[in-house]
Amino acid sequence: MKFYSGFSLKNEQHFFKEYTNFSDYSVCGFSYGAIKAFLYVKEQLELKKRVDTLQLFSPAFFQTKDDKFKKIQLMAYRKSKDLYLREFIKSCFLPYLEKSIEREENSTQELEELLYFKWNMEELKILAKKGVKIEVYLGSEDKIIDVEGAREFFLEVATVTYIKEANHFLLTN
């Protein structure tokens, strides 16, 4: 199993262990890492490598947000990276108490990629046609992404698990 971490995070895969497929042919990603996992699977299939499952945990889904929202995020990040990340992490855990997590260096470019990434339905359908099972996990209380937009979008090509009362980390308490 290959796992891609969320923006500014590392070693957070333990939050998803109850949902994770630990097969050698499974690729998982959380939030921003879901984008990286998707791109990795596309690349692997082009190289004729085997991938059975793509698991997207709270995938970064901002394509329904307007440019004003995205520009405000970037401006706040540029103004105070530490404050932005503290508030971001706190929001990831809402409505529950924040848990301890490991952080990693990140860049404005990565935040831009996260905010402006557009999931492409045709590319997802190609993965599915090539035999990749796509699973999406969403928390109903997620304060980070557009949960309803993501749910509606991914239902066409993936098994979507909607976890009642779960936050961005798919935790319920």
Residue 28's nearest CA partner among 37, 18, 17, 40 is 37
Question: pLDDT tens, position by position, for the chain (173 residues)?
Answer: 999 999 999 999 999 999 999 999 999 999 999 999 999 999 999 999 999 999 999 999 999 999 999 999 999 999 999 999 999 999 999 999 999 999 999 999 999 999 999 999 999 999 999 999 999 999 999 999 999 999 999 999 999 999 999 999 999 98
Inside any domain, residue 168: no
**pLDDT tens-digit profile of 92-139?**
999 999 999 999 999 999 999 999 999 999 999 999 999 999 999 999
Q: What is the C-alpha to C-alpha distance for residues 157 and 109, in angstroms, rounded to an integer?
A: 29
Q: What is the C-alpha to C-alpha distance for residues 79 and 83, in angstroms, rounded to an integer?
A: 9
Inside any domain, residue 70: yes
Query: pTM of the full predicted structure?
Result: 0.95
Inside any domain, residue 127: yes
Q: Give the domain extent around 8.
A: 2-163
Inside any domain, residue 116: yes
Inside any domain, residue 171: no
Give CA angle at 47 (42, 49), nearest 5°: 85
Inside any domain, residue 87: yes
State how many domains the chain has: 1
Inside any domain, residue 39: yes
User: DSSP letters along the chain, please?
Assistant: -EEEPPTTEES-GGGGTTT----TTEEEEETHHHHHHHHHHHHHHHTT----EEEEES----TTS-HHHHHHHHHHHHH-HHHHHHHHHHHHHTTS-----EE----HHHHHHHHH----HHHHHHHHHTTPEEEEEEETT-SSS-HHHHHHHHTTTSEEEEETT--TTS---
Instruction: Give the pLDDT score at 173.
Output: 83
Inside any domain, residue 173: no
Tell me the CATH number at 22: 3.40.50.1820
